[in-house]
């Protein structure tokens, strides 16, 4: 109850007391918020004191009691008629005041509730007048439009509706004014300028003052409109897609028994849009027989079990056309019962026709495939036969010219035979290119990945082309970064083929200047992988920019004149690029016409570093003078020496070198190039000796020259006391080794090693050569006799004869041709291995070396190694040294002594020569370290063999080989070399190799212990 009502009721109470002339008047009012409210006038009396008491009920018009009016007095008295009438009027007045109060409170509550709903509603609400001026706006509306409520008060509908829709706003205001309500869709504009839409439902009201205003209620339907537009677009696309793909829909209500077909379904059945299908008429469209039986069974199955169907069936349309359709049916359940069936209906007639056509084509393709396979097999056989037939006479030409060139010839004969040999090799190279290209094109070329020494590999590649370069008067440079890891896994043959092709081209197209092979580390990657760049640079004719793509095409060179002038098939770069593609790389070119070209490629290799070589003795060399007219060669040498902290001075000619020496500059070593204009290296050294003699501080002079000059300069080097000679291109390890030998004063020993031919194998050996071609047989026997003078040679014309010889007498080594009549080399090897004791015989394949997987096939067939034809004496000698261990028989006529047998296992002179000048204490210490290392290696080998850890066995073999070569453990080094190159486990060779290593290690340990005891006895 508010204060106004209380004041009014107090007045009326007093008035009641005065009218009735009583002491006390009281109004008691019931209140929802309080139990009761009492308004009293006068001094209240107790019921016992009151002689007069009159109570009047206060009731609403509906009869509801809202309070009472009480009159009391301690005096006894009665009210007259005038007072009664006045009290009746007063009671009515009191009731009116209390009722108005309650109504006012209800209005206040209603207003509060409305305002709370208005302000906090998530819906969009506002009030505006009939001119569209906004009176109030709730938070949701203001937020939606990007304003605050305060900002929007006073704005008009025209401010929040785009200008082009203002006519619609005016129409809305007229309508709501006349009709009192309006609803519809209105476009609005956000504060940031973006458009939106609201769905409104507004009503016209009047306040108590009679003023009209509109209450607006709306919903933001912007997102819904976007979704509806997307849905409409999707529906249109789906309808068009269904029309194009001929996919219709169907639905069957099992309760009402009604069947619905979509427009496409009706179109497939060739019925009009008005056609109303039934279940019976739908089934009747299916072709009698299998199709109708399948759909009937599917309908029965889905009704009984709810199992859906997906069938390809035939129908006959209303127009009589026979079509293939794909019918799919699914069931919809309600309360466990099937209520509705629905699915799709697709015309697949074109697909079925395509399938029939495909089946027809498949039979044709199968026949064509069979013919192609037969043709491919014939091609492979033709290539193999052609390779064998063409190579056989070429092998004879190349092999015998090699032999004749090593005999005494006059200059003219040597020149003519050299041309024959080079021509034959060129022809063989062309044949190899064509065969390689054919294999690559057919996708049959595979890489043979193995571990190789990157430094040694680079040296071998440069050595192969260095003679050609020097023959043309070109400088051959080898620039191998010292940051490269020592070992890497790659296909040595194929990578060498690429580099030799690039270097061969560089030599071919360079008239003067230099050729450089550069190998550098780009970056180390994860998992011990490295990105390595190989680059071949020349100073030749260069290539025009527009011709650079053309040179990579098969059988194409820069232009026709290039082919005429320089020759070649034009296959080299194509094959190289395809080989690099197999390695995950590609060839790039930088070229300038008249200045030269650089071909390079980057390849990612798995690598393994090795323990650094011990070059501690180089610390005694501080200053080196490099005398060379080639700037790049001086730079390469300087980089090699700088890696060891050696300071270098460069001289571009012999005159500059003499000037530096005349100025009393001191150099520990002089690196002197032989080929220099005006004054060559020997003339320069001769003048040094004439003017300065042997310099007291000089460690030595190293002459850099090409191998073709050996005979001319050996005598001059002896006469001028030149310490060492190095064949160009200079390899980093050879340079360090030469410097070390200078410091260790081993000149004499090195000359002995160089002069010693060591081109033959001693001992009584039994060698079996299996070869069907008489020319190749003669070549093989000639080469074998040259490198094994005392060997007994057995000849077999085919595999069957080879087996017969082996059964009669087991040879020490077999050279086995692969392609032979009656029984080929693979079959012969398998049969020989079955002979008792023949498992240990080294069998070396004689192969063309150009067929797919030849090496792998030879190894898998049970052979130990292979050599490509034509036979080259040096290569065959390497294999003999690798595989042969001379067995000394107990024969009084033998010329082999017991000492030579011991030296086969442990030759102490090797170590003594290597450490010439050192006392026996150092030798003892080194032998003890070697014994400890071998014992540890044998233990590690047993563990690795138990788990067949090939990589670990390779590492152990590599380590033992290096140690054995220095110490003089010849046989152990050969066994270790086999372990280092082991790729897969092959019984019984695997077990035999491990056993041989353990036995040989035990033997040499005992021999070294005896040598240590001998040294100790000498020192007493």
With vertex at residue 314, the alpha carbon angle to CA 311 and CA 320, rounded to the nearest 5 degrees, is 150
Are 594 and 519 part of one and the same domain?
yes
- Supply the pLDDT for residue 743: 67
Number of neighbours of residue 899 by Cβ within 10 angstroms: 9
Helix H or strand E segment including 646: none
Helix H or strand E segment including 574: helix 572-582
Instruction: Please give the DSSP secondary-structure letter assigned to residue 886.
Output: P
Asked if residue 13 lies in contact with residue 21, where contact means CB atoms within 8 angstroms, the answer is: no
Question: What is the CATH classification number for the domain harbouring 170?
Answer: 3.30.450.20
Distance, in Å, from the CA atom of 241 to the CA atom of 344, rounded to the nearest integer, reads 13
Query: Which of 893, 928, 947 lies at the terminal end of a domain, its last residue?
Result: 893
599 domain residue, yes or no: yes
Are 151 and 53 part of one and the same domain?
no
Distance, in Å, from the CA atom of 189 to the CA atom of 509, rounded to the nearest integer, reads 77
Q: What totals of helices (H) and strands (E) does the chain contain, helices first?
A: 32, 31
Distance, in Å, from the CA atom of 340 to the CA atom of 254, rounded to the nearest integer, reads 6
Question: What is the CATH classification number for the domain harbouring 924?
Answer: 1.20.120.160
Asked if residue 998 lies in contact with residue 941, where contact means CB atoms within 8 angstroms, the answer is: yes
Are 616 and 602 part of one and the same domain?
no
- Supply the pLDDT for residue 891: 38
CA dihedral 796, 800, 802, 804 (to 10 degrees): -120
- Supply the pLDDT for residue 822: 86
Are 107 and 130 part of one and the same domain?
no
- Supply the pLDDT for residue 886: 47
Distance, in Å, from the CA atom of 127 to the CA atom of 156, rounded to the nearest integer, reads 11
Question: What is the CATH classification number for the domain harbouring 858?
Answer: 3.40.50.2300
Distance, in Å, from the CA atom of 917 to the CA atom of 413, rounded to the nearest integer, reads 47
- Supply the pLDDT for residue 653: 92
Query: Which of 722, 755, 788 lies at the terminal end of a domain, its last residue?
Result: 755
731 domain residue, yes or no: yes
Asked if residue 480 lies in contact with residue 440, where contact means CB atoms within 8 angstroms, the answer is: no
232 domain residue, yes or no: no
Token code pair at residue 252 = 């069957």
Phi and psi angles of residue 353, each rounded to the nearest 5 degrees, phi first: -65, -40
Distance, in Å, from the CA atom of 258 to the CA atom of 178, rounded to the nearest integer, reads 49
Asked if residue 599 lies in contact with residue 535, where contact means CB atoms within 8 angstroms, the answer is: yes
Question: Residue 619 burial by CB count (10 A; 0-12/13-18/19+): exposed, middle or buried?
Answer: exposed
| Single pTM value for the model | 0.42
Q: Note down the domain range covering 665.
A: 612-755
Query: Which of 416, 441, 466 lies at the terminal end of a domain, its last residue?
Result: 441
Q: Is residue 967 helix, strand or coil? A: helix
Best CA proximity match to 704, nearest among 680, 732, 672, 734: 672
- Supply the pLDDT for residue 208: 66
Q: What does each C-alpha distance from 132 to 105, 152, 214, 459 come to in angstroms?
A: 32, 12, 9, 95
Identify the residue whose tokens are 């889905």: 302
Q: Which residues contact 123 (CB under 8 A, 6 or more apart)?
A: 138, 140, 217, 218, 219
- Supply the pLDDT for residue 894: 36
Are 832 and 738 part of one and the same domain?
no
Best CA proximity match to 733, nearest among 618, 620, 625, 633: 618
**Which segments of 255-348 does DSSP mark as H helices, in order?**
263-268, 279-284, 290-305
Are 477 and 607 part of one and the same domain?
yes
Distance, in Å, from the CA atom of 880 to the CA atom of 919, rounded to the nearest integer, reads 35
Token code pair at residue 341 = 């069936």
How does strand 766-770 pair with strand 813-817? parallel
> How are the residues of the chain apportioned to helix, strand and coil, as percentages rounded to the nearest 5?
50, 20, 30
Are 558 and 643 part of one and the same domain?
no
Are 306 and 433 part of one and the same domain?
no
Phi and psi angles of residue 362, each rounded to the nearest 5 degrees, phi first: -60, -40
Distance, in Å, from the CA atom of 476 to the CA atom of 467, rounded to the nearest integer, reads 9
Best CA proximity match to 632, nearest among 727, 515, 725: 515
- Supply the pLDDT for residue 913: 63
231 domain residue, yes or no: no
Distance, in Å, from the CA atom of 696 to the CA atom of 483, rounded to the nearest integer, reads 36
Q: What's the distance, Cα to Cα, between the start and end of the chain in Å?
A: 133
With vertex at residue 887, the alpha carbon angle to CA 884 and CA 890, rounded to the nearest 5 degrees, is 165
Q: Is residue 899 helix, strand or coil? A: helix
Distance, in Å, from the CA atom of 498 to the CA atom of 502, rounded to the nearest integer, reads 6
Distance, in Å, from the CA atom of 673 to the CA atom of 491, rounded to the nearest integer, reads 35
Number of neighbours of residue 1019 by Cβ within 10 angstroms: 9
Are 837 and 956 part of one and the same domain?
no
721 domain residue, yes or no: yes
CA dihedral sign of residues 528, 531, 534, 537: negative
Number of neighbours of residue 586 by Cβ within 10 angstroms: 14
Question: What is the CATH classification number for the domain harbouring 548?
Answer: 3.30.565.10
Phi and psi angles of residue 183, each rounded to the nearest 5 degrees, phi first: -145, 155
Helix H or strand E segment including 713: helix 710-719
| Structural domains counted in the chain | 8
258 domain residue, yes or no: yes
Asked if residue 450 lies in contact with residue 981, where contact means CB atoms within 8 angstroms, the answer is: yes
Q: What does each C-alpha distance from 308 to 266, 343, 358, 382 come to in angstroms?
A: 22, 9, 30, 59
Are 435 and 483 part of one and the same domain?
no
Count of residues making up the chain: 1020
Distance, in Å, from the CA atom of 965 to the CA atom of 881, rounded to the nearest integer, reads 13
Asked if residue 870 lies in contact with residue 847, where contact means CB atoms within 8 angstroms, the answer is: no
Q: Is residue 385 helix, strand or coil? A: helix
Best CA proximity match to 726, nearest among 707, 708, 743: 707
Instruction: Please give the DSSP secondary-structure letter assigned to residue 696.
Output: T
pLDDT along the chain (1020 residues), means of 10: 78 87 85 60 71 85 82 86 88 85 74 70 83 89 88 90 92 91 90 89 82 87 80 71 74 88 89 90 92 92 88 92 92 85 89 86 83 73 65 75 78 71 69 63 71 87 78 86 90 85 89 91 90 94 78 51 45 80 90 91 91 72 90 90 90 90 84 88 86 63 68 75 81 83 52 42 81 80 83 90 92 90 90 89 79 73 84 83 58 42 74 61 80 87 80 83 79 84 61 81 87 75
Are 721 and 840 part of one and the same domain?
no
Asked if residue 596 lies in contact with residue 542, where contact means CB atoms within 8 angstroms, the answer is: yes
Q: Which residues contact 524 (CB under 8 A, 6 or more apart)?
A: 530, 531
44 domain residue, yes or no: yes
Asked if residue 352 lies in contact with residue 338, where contact means CB atoms within 8 angstroms, the answer is: no
Are 603 and 625 part of one and the same domain?
no
Token code pair at residue 150 = 């305060």
Instruction: Please give the DSSP secondary-structure letter assigned to residue 164.
Output: G
Asked if residue 490 lies in contact with residue 452, where contact means CB atoms within 8 angstroms, the answer is: yes
- Supply the pLDDT for residue 168: 92
- Supply the pLDDT for residue 796: 92
Beta bridge partners of residue 607, listed in sequence order: 488
Distance, in Å, from the CA atom of 475 to the CA atom of 857, rounded to the nearest integer, reads 40
356 domain residue, yes or no: no
Asked if residue 51 lies in contact with residue 76, where contact means CB atoms within 8 angstroms, the answer is: yes
- Supply the pLDDT for residue 380: 62
How does strand 843-847 pair with strand 596-608? unpaired
**Which segments of 121-189 does DSSP mark as H helices, in order?**
139-145, 149-152, 166-179
């Amino acid at each position: 109850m508010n204060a106004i009502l209380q004041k009014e009721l107090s007045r009326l109470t007093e008035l009641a007391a005065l009218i009735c002339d009583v002491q006390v008047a009281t109004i008691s009012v019931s209140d929802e918020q309080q139990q009761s409210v009492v308004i009293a006038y006068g001094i209240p009396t107790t019921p016992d004191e009151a002689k007069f008491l009159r109570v009047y009920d206060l009731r609403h018009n509906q009869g509801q009691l809202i309070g009472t009016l009480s009159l009391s007095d301690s005096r006894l008295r009665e009210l007259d008629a005038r007072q009664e009438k006045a009290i009746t009027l007063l009671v009515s007045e009191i009731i009116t005041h209390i009722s108005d109060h309650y109504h006012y409170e209800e209005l206040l509550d209603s207003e509060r509730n409305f305002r709370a709903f208005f302000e906090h509603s998530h819906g969009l609400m506002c009030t505006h007048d009939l001119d569209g001026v906004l009176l109030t706006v709730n938070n949701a509306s203001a937020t939606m439009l990007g304003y605050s409520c305060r900002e929007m008060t006073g704005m008009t509908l025209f401010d929040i509706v785009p200008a082009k829709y203002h006519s619609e706003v005016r129409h809305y205001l007229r309508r709501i004014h006349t009709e009192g309500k309006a609803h519809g869709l209105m476009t609005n504009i956000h504060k940031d300028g973006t458009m939106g839409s609201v769905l409104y439902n507004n009503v016209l009201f009047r306040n108590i003052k009679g003023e009209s205003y509109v209450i607006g209620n709306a919903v933001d339907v912007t997102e819904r409109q976007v979704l509806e537009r997307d849905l409409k677009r999707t529906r249109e696309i789906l309808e068009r897609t269904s029309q194009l793909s001929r996919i219709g829909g169907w639905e069957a209500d099992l309760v009402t028994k009604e069947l619905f077909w979509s427009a496409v379904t009706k179109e497939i059945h060739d019925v009009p849009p008005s056609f109303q299908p039934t279940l019976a008429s739908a089934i009747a469209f299916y072709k009698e027989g299998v199709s109708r039986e399948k759909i009937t069974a599917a309908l029965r199955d889905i009704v009984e079990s709810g199992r859906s169907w997906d069938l390809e069936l035939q129908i006959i349309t209303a127009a009589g056309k026979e079509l293939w359709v794909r019918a799919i049916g699914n069931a919809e359940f309600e309360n466990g019962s099937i209520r509705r069936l629905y699915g799709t209906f697709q015309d697949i007639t074109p697909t079925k026709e395509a399938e029939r056509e495909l089946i027809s084509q498949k039979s044709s393709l199968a026949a064509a495939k069979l013919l192609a396979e037969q043709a491919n097999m014939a091609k492979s056989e033709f290539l193999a036969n052609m390779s064998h037939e063409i190579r056989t006479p070429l092998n004879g030409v190349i092999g015998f010219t090699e032999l004749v060139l090593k005999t005494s010839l006059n200059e003219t004969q040597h020149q003519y035979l050299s041309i024959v040999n080079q021509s034959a090799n060129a022809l063989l190279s062309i044949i190899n290119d064509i065969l390689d290209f054919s294999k690559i094109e057919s996708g049959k070329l595979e890489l043979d990945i193995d571990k190789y020494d990157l430094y040694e590999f680079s040296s071998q590649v440069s050595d192969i082309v260095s003679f050609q370069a020097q023959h043309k008067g070109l400088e051959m440079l080898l620039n191998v970064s010292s940051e490269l890891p020592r070992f890497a896994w790659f296909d040595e043959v194929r990578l060498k083929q690429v580099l030799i092709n690039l270097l061969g081209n560089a030599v071919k197209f360079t008239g003067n200047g230099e050729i450089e092979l550069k190998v550098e580390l780009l970056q180390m990657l994860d998992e011990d992988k490295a990105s390595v760049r190989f680059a071949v640079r020349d100073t030749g004719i260069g290539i025009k920019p527009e011709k650079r793509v053309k040179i990579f095409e098969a059988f194409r060179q820069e232009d026709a004149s290039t082919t005429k002038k320089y020759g070649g098939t034009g296959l080299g770069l194509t094959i190289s690029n395809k080989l690099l593609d197999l390695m995950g790389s590609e060839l790039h070119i930088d070229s300038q016409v008249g200045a030269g070209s650089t071909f390079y490629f980057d390849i990612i290799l798995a690598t393994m570093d090795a323990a650094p070589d011990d070059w501690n003795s180089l610390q005694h060399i501080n200053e080196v003078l490099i005398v060379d007219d080639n700037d790049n060669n001086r730079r390469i040498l300087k980089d090699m020496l700088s890696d060891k902290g050696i300071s270098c001075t460069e001289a571009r000619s012999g005159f500059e070198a003499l000037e530096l020496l005349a100025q009393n500059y001191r150099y520990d070593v002089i690196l002197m190039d032989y080929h220099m204009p005006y004054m060559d290296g020997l003339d320069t050294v001769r003048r040094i000796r004439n003017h300065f003699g042997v310099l007291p501080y000089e460690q030595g002079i190293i002459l850099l020259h090409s191998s073709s000059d050996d005979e001319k300069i050996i005598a001059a080097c002896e006469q001028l006391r030149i310490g060492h000679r190095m064949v160009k291109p200079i390899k980093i390890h050879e340079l360090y080794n030469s410097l070390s030998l200078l410091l260790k004063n081993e000149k004499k020993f090195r000359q002995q090693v160089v002069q010693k031919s060591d081109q033959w194998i001693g001992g009584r050996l039994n060698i079996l050569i299996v070869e069907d071609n008489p020319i190749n047989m003669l070549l093989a026997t000639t080469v074998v006799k040259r490198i094994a003078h005392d060997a007994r040679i057995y000849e077999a014309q085919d595999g069957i004869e080879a087996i017969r010889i082996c059964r009669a007498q087991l040879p020490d080594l077999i050279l086995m041709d692969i392609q032979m009549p009656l029984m080929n080399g693979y079959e012969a090897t398998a049969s020989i291995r079955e002979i008792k004791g023949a498992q240990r015989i080294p069998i070396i394949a004689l192969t063309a070396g150009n067929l797919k997987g030849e090496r792998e096939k030879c190894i898998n067939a049970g052979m130990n190694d292979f050599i490509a034809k034509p036979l080259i004496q040096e290569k065959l000698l390497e294999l003999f040294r690798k595989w042969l261990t001379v067995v000394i028989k107990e024969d009084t006529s033998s010329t082999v002594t017991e000492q030579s047998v011991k030296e086969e296992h442990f030759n102490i002179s090797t170590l003594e020569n290597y450490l010439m000048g050192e006392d026996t204490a150092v030798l003892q210490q080194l032998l003890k370290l070697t014994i400890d290392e071998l014992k540890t290696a044998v233990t590690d080998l047993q563990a690795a063999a138990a788990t067949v850890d090939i990589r670990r066995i390779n590492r152990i073999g590599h380590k033992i080989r290096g140690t054995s070569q220095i110490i003089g453990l010849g046989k152990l080094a050969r066994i270790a070399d086999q372990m280092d190159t082991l790729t897969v486990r092959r019984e019984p060779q695997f077990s035999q190799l491990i056993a041989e290593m353990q036995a040989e290690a035990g033997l040499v340990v005992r021999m070294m212990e005896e040598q240590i005891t001998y040294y100790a006895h000498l020192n007493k």
